[in-house]
Chains A and B, each alone.
Chain A
Amino acid sequence: MSEKKTTGVTPAENAAPAAAARPSCLRGTGVTKVFGFGETRTVAVDHVDFDFHEGEIISIVGESGSGKTTISKMLLGLISVTEGQIDFQGKPRDISTHRKKNEYWKGIQAIFQDPFSSFNMFNKIDSVLLDCINMRGGKNLPKEEKIRLMTEACSFVNLKFAELTNKYPFELSGGQMQRLMIARIFLLKPKILLADEPTSMIDACSRATILDMLLKLRDEINMTIIFITHDIGLAYYISDSVYIMEHGKFVEAGGADEVILTPKAEYTKRLISDVPKIYEEWDLTTV
């Protein structure tokens, strides 16, 4: 354990090939979500268009209340879309029945901000992982094979499966729980992973470990990762393309270097100037 882990490759070296070269994974046209009606009518997401490609890491950045979480819930199919269409792997998404929804969730999975509330506290860790194997159609596998798969998933995230059996999720620390969440994703191997602020409740050094694992996972199973975050530094570090969101609209979108280093929208400029920096002076007068 004494060896310090570093990311195998930096995101810059590892940047995904040109977007056009890869098939589209998730595409939205005019996606809108309206809550309430009459006087309380609120447009949370306002006619947004997006196109996420296979194997790409995308960040959606915005302040609190900009509609980030609403859009992630629509992508997951947890809430209905008021207007517009979402295409999944080139075909219009169909989640009208429960069976179809289950099928869709095999292709898209999520990690949430709060690892403490992401697990069913009555289920032991082995049953959490076993559920994932069953969902991938491994219900009739022999017991040894299931244990081998679970051990493999745990060792992928630097956890020891032997120590975890017969434990409940709340016996782990926050960082360990978030890693267990990634072990689930490793077993499920979805096409798309939606990560809603996965590192904002974790301290800076465990954050590096989590990001490292997500990058490794992307390489392993060519997964699309959608990062929802308010940390623009993190978005810049990890993603291939960045979408900046303000009041339910994308005000700027493009490659990470292009958006963060040469921002065009006023909102993006303000967001970037508000983040503490190391190599340049942090201007405190502009508040």
Chain B
Amino acid sequence: MGKIMLEVKDLKTKYVTRFHEDVYAVDGVSLTIEEGKSLGIAGESGCGKSTLALSLMGYYFAPLHYMSGDIIIDGTNISGMKPDDVRHKILGNEIAYIPQAAMNALNPTQKIIRFIEDVIHAHDPKATKKDIYDLAKQRFEVLGLPPEVLQKHAVELSGGMKQRTVIAISTILSPKVLIADEPSSALDVTSQKMVIKMMRELMEKGFIRSMIFITHELPLLYNVTDDIMVMYAGQIVERGTAREMVFDPIHPYSKGLMGSIIVPEAGTRDQKLTAIPGTPPNLKRPPAGCRFADRCKYATAECKGATVAMKDFDNGRSYRCRYSVEHLREVYADE
């Protein structure tokens, strides 16, 4: 077992709306990532994936509020730190974040090298321009980006190029954890592949030590990450390796999610797509029992009664359901 890079224990965060109502967007999430590993997070829109990403990097600006739990990055506990301290000491250095529309994050009036200077000066005010330029040039060359990009403005770059530039800028200080929130959703397939290739390279060359990849595109997650975690209504419902999760999902929600995969390969036209009916619960008033019970076709009255804890099985897999693994596998086999 490798060194643990990121450890999260029972993290709870909430949004407070204008009407002072609490929305429990992340509700008791625990996870660990070892050095050199990547973790994928899947789930529908509104299940708390992006909120989890913001919470992990300590970005607690209103309306997001921290409630309880620990976030430990390579031995340092950052939970409860002030957002401003987090920005100076943690962001970029320990943990880096790529938002969904990263290509719109670049100021059109400045050259790319200026962004890199900003990032480095925030952590080391004494760094000289020449040192920064050399470092940036070297890093860009290793990642297969032409160094001329450094002297260009954002408008001169294509969408895929901008996205890769943003990734290179945010990882310039070699962070321990990289959180990528749908980094390729807005790109076409060819640019997406280049972005993924670059993220693989970052990992292989040791510029980032571990990665969290958030998306709802499961075929992509299967190809990029080692482990997959499925989130539903602010909670984790299942975790396992990518292969296990795609070909042998246990939780009824994961099962439904994996049934929506579409790939252009022989045989897929004969499979039926499964859709999960209904909508996710309102997180202002989360249901008492199993949160998926209302949409689950195996649910009984008992499911809605008591809360369900995560259960471990096989080696290292866990899921959140009242039924036993054997029972669920039998039920799926019968269908």
Contact = CB atoms under 8 A, between A and B. Distances in A.
Contacts of A282: 223
Given A5-B275, A206-B44, A282-B223, A275 B264 contact: yes
Given A212-B273, A230-B189, A261 B266 contact: yes
A117 interface: no
Contacts of B82: none
A20 interface: no
Contact of A275 (B189, B271, B276, B299): B189
Contacts of A261: 266
Contacts of B271: 10
B223 A277 contact: yes
Interface range for B: 35 or more
A277 B263 contact: yes
A282 B265 CA distance: 12
A245 interface: no
B275 A209 contact: yes
Contacts of B296: 2
Contacts of A237: 262, 268-269, 273
A216 B196 CA distance: 36
B326 to A, nearest CB: 21
A4 B274 contact: yes
Contacts of B274: 4-6, 208
A204 B220 CA distance: 12
A160 to B, nearest CB: 12
B197 to A, nearest CB: 5
B192 interface: yes
Contacts of B2: none
Contact of B44 (A203, A211, A234): A203
Contacts of B256: 4, 205
Nearest to B269: A12
A16 interface: no
A1 B270 contact: no
Interface in A240-287: 256-257, 260-261, 270-272, 274-280, 282, 284, 287
Nearest to B46: A173
B129 interface: no
Interface in B245-271: 246, 256-257, 259-271
A11 interface: yes
A127 B190 CA distance: 43
Given A10-B271, A204-B216, A287-B197, A279 B263 contact: yes
A63 B190 contact: yes
A7 interface: yes
B266 to A, nearest CB: 5
A42 interface: no
A236 interface: yes
A78 to B, nearest CB: 24
B63 interface: no
B270 A10 contact: yes
A3 interface: yes
Interface of A: 1-7, 10-13, 63-64, 158, 173-174, 203-209, 211-212, 230-237, 256-257, 260-261, 270-272, 274-280, 282, 284, 287
20 contacts: A2-B294, A4-B256, A4-B297, A6-B273, A10-B271, A10-B272, A11-B269, A158-B277, A173-B279, A204-B217, A204-B257, A205-B260, A211-B273, A212-B275, A233-B264, A233-B268, A236-B262, A260-B264, A275-B189, A287-B194
Given A3-B277, A205-B256, A236-B264, 11 more contacts: A10-B269, A10-B271, A204-B260, A205-B276, A206-B44, A212-B275, A232-B264, A236-B269, A275-B263, A276-B263, A278-B261
